[in-house]
Structure 1
Amino acid sequence: MYFANLKTFVNYVTLVLLSFIMIFPYLWMFLISVKPKNELYSGKILPSTFQFENYIRVFTETKMLLYLWNSIYVGVLIIIVQLLCAIFSAYVFVTIQKKWVKLCFVLILATYMLPAAITYIPSFILISNMNLLDTHVGYIFSEFISIFAIFFLRQSFIQVPKEVVHAAKLDGAGHLRLIFTIYIPYCKNAIASLVLITFIYCYNNYLWPSLLIKAEENMFVTIGLRRLFMSQAGYGTDFPLAMAACAVSLLPMFILLAVSNKRIINSMANLYVNK
C-alpha cells in the first residue's frame, strides 16, 4: 500500500513538473507582454506594474486583426476543399478492391513520406506560371490535396459495417447516396477531428506561405508576427508589444484545443487501429 501511494505521488509530481515546463514559455511570454520597457532587462520575473495597454496597442497600432482574419478564412476554405477531396478519395480506396486502386493508394502514401520542402520549388514555379503569386487563391490552390486527410478518412471509412453498406446497396443506393447517408454520418466524429487538425495546421503554417505571400494585406498570422517582431522587437525596442501580439495570436488555438482536445486525442489514438 505504501509503495502504491508513493508511486502515485511520484507520478503526480512528474506530471506537474512536465506541465510547468510545457507552459513556462507561454507564461514567460505573458509576463514580458505586460512589463514596462525599462524592466525588460532588470532580471525581475514579475513586473512592478502590469502594462495591459500593450494588448490594446496590438489592435490599434498593428494589423493583427487583418492577419487573424486572413488566417481564419483561408483556413476554413482549405478545410472545405481538402475535406471534399479526402472524402471522395477515401471512398474510392475503401470500396473499389482492385489492384490498381491499391497501387495508387500505396503511391500516395509513399509521397507522404517525402519532405514537404522538396515540393516547394515545382509548386512555386507552377503557381508563378498561373499568375497566382502573392494571392490567397494561389495558396489555397497549393493546399487542395492532403495525403494525411485521405489516409485518415480511409482508416475511418474501413470501420463502417459492411452489412450496412450492403443493405443500402440493396435499397438502390448509388455512390453519392452511400457517401452522404452512410459513410459521412458514421464517421462524423473522425471528420470533425480532421477539420480541427487541418485548421491547426493551416493556422500555424509559416514556411510555405512566407514564400508565396509578400503583400501585407494578404499576410497570415505567422508571417505578420515575424514582420511585427522584426520591426518592433528586432533591436529590443518594443518587446512587450511583440509578445502581446504573440499572446493574442494564440487565443484561437487555445480556445479550439480547450473545446476539442479530447476529440483530437481519441481520433489520433484510433488512427492506426485498422489498416
Structure 2
Amino acid sequence: MRMTGAWRTPVRHVVLTASAILMAFPFYWLVMSALKTNDEIWQFPPSLWPENPLWGNFAEAWQAAPFAQYLFNSVFVAGMIVVLQFINSAMMGYALTHMKFRLKGAMTAMVLVCYMIPATAVYLPSYMILGKMGLIDSYAGLILTNCVSVFSIFLIRQAFLQVNHELIEAGQMDGASHMRILWTILVPLTRSSFAVLALITFIDQYNNYFWPMLITQSPHLQLVSAGLRSFFVEGGAYGLKWPLIMAASAFTIAPLLVLFALTQKLIIQSVNLTAGSSKG
C-alpha cells in the first residue's frame, strides 16, 4: 500500500524527529549523569533526571585536573593543523585539477595510493624523523606531523573538479596568477567543502589519542583525550567517581558542539551541492 502525499510529510517529520532524539539522547544522558550521585548512576531502573542536581560536580571535575591546559592544547594544535591543511590541500588540489604538468596523472594516482596506507604504518619512521629533528615532546612535532592529509587533498580535489574550468581560463586570460585564481575564484566557490574539511579535521585532531601519546611525555602537552584518560585513572579512581568523569567528558566535548553549530549551514550547503551535482 503506497503512502499518499498527505501522509508522507508528517511521517517523514516523525521519523526525523525520532532519529534526532535518539542521536541527542547520549549527550543528554551524559549531562544528567554528571549531575547525579554515584549511587543514582547505578540505581535500577535508571532515572532520567537527578533527584537533586549537583551542579558543583562540573566545578569539582574542572579543578581536579588541569582541563584548561588540556583544552587549550587540543584546540591550539587542532586549529593550527586545520589552517595548515587548508592551505596545503587548496594548493595541492589546484595543482591536480587546473594545472598542466608532467606526471600529473602519476601524482594523482600516488595520492590515491597513499590514501589506502594505514596511519599506523608510518608511525615508526615518523617517530625516528621527529627524533632526529628534535621535535619529540613539542607543539611543533604535534602540528607538523599532521599538517598534510591525503584525505583533505582528495576532498578538495573533488570539490575543485566541480568548478567549471572556463572560469580558470578566464582568470588566466585576464592575467591573474595561479595564487590569485586559487584564493579569489576557487576557494570562495568551494567554501562549503572547506568548512566540511575544517570540521572533520578539527574533530579528528581534537580527539587524536595514540600518536600524541607516542611523541609527548610532558603532562602539560597532553591533549584532551589523554588528559581525560589520566583523570579517569587518577582523579576518577578507575571509575569510582563516575559523576566527575561524566562532568569532565561533558565539558571536553563542548568545543566540538560549538564548532558544529557554527558550521552546520555550510555543511548543509555542501551536501546540497553534492546531491545536485550527482543528479546533474
- Residue 32 of structure 2 corresponds to which residue in structure 1? 31
Q: Secondary structure at the match of 2:92?
A: helix
Matching of residues 89-168 of structure 1 within 5 Å:
89-98=92-101, 100-168=103-171
The counterpart of 1:235, out of the listed 219, 222, 238, is 238
- Residue 181 of structure 1 corresponds to which residue in structure 2? 184
1:64 and 1:139 map into 2 onto residues whose CA distance is 19
Task: Tell whether 2:55 aligns with 1:47.
Answer: no
Superposed CA deviations along residues 60-86 of structure 1, whole A, max 9, x for unmatched, are 222111111111111111112111111
- Residue 86 of structure 1 corresponds to which residue in structure 2? 89
Structure 1 unmatched runs, 5+: none
- Residue 202 of structure 1 corresponds to which residue in structure 2? 205
Does the C-alpha gap of structure 1 residues 119 and 269 become closer, same or farther in structure 2, counting only changes over 3 Å?
farther
**How many residue pairs get matched?**
274
- Post-superposition shift, 1:228? 0.8
Superposed CA deviations along residues 87-131 of structure 1, whole A, max 9, x for unmatched, are 111111112345611111111111112222212222122212222
The counterpart of 1:191, out of the listed 186, 190, 194, is 194
Structure 2 unmatched runs, 5+: none
CA contact (8 A) 2:228 2:248 kept: yes
Q: 2:112 corresponds to which letter in structure 1?
A: L
Matching of residues 245-256 of structure 1 within 5 Å:
245-256=248-259
CA contact (8 A) 1:155 1:271 kept: no
CA contact (8 A) 1:81 1:144 kept: yes
CA contact (8 A) 1:70 1:220 kept: yes
Mean Cα displacement is larger for which, 245-254 or 30-39?
30-39
Q: 1:172 corresponds to which letter in structure 2?
A: G
Identical columns (%): 32
1:205 and 1:232 map into 2 onto residues whose CA distance is 21
- Post-superposition shift, 1:173? 1.8
- Residue 56 of structure 1 corresponds to which residue in structure 2? 59
CA contact (8 A) 1:232 1:239 kept: no
Runs (4+) off by over 6 Å: none
1:125 and 1:152 map into 2 onto residues whose CA distance is 29
Does the C-alpha gap of structure 1 residues 107 and 231 become closer, same or farther in structure 2, counting only changes over 3 Å?
same
Mean Cα displacement is larger for which, 96-105 or 144-153?
96-105
- Post-superposition shift, 1:158? 2.3
1:231 and 1:189 map into 2 onto residues whose CA distance is 42
2:203 and 2:92 map into 1 onto residues whose CA distance is 22
Q: 1:28 corresponds to which letter in structure 2?
A: W
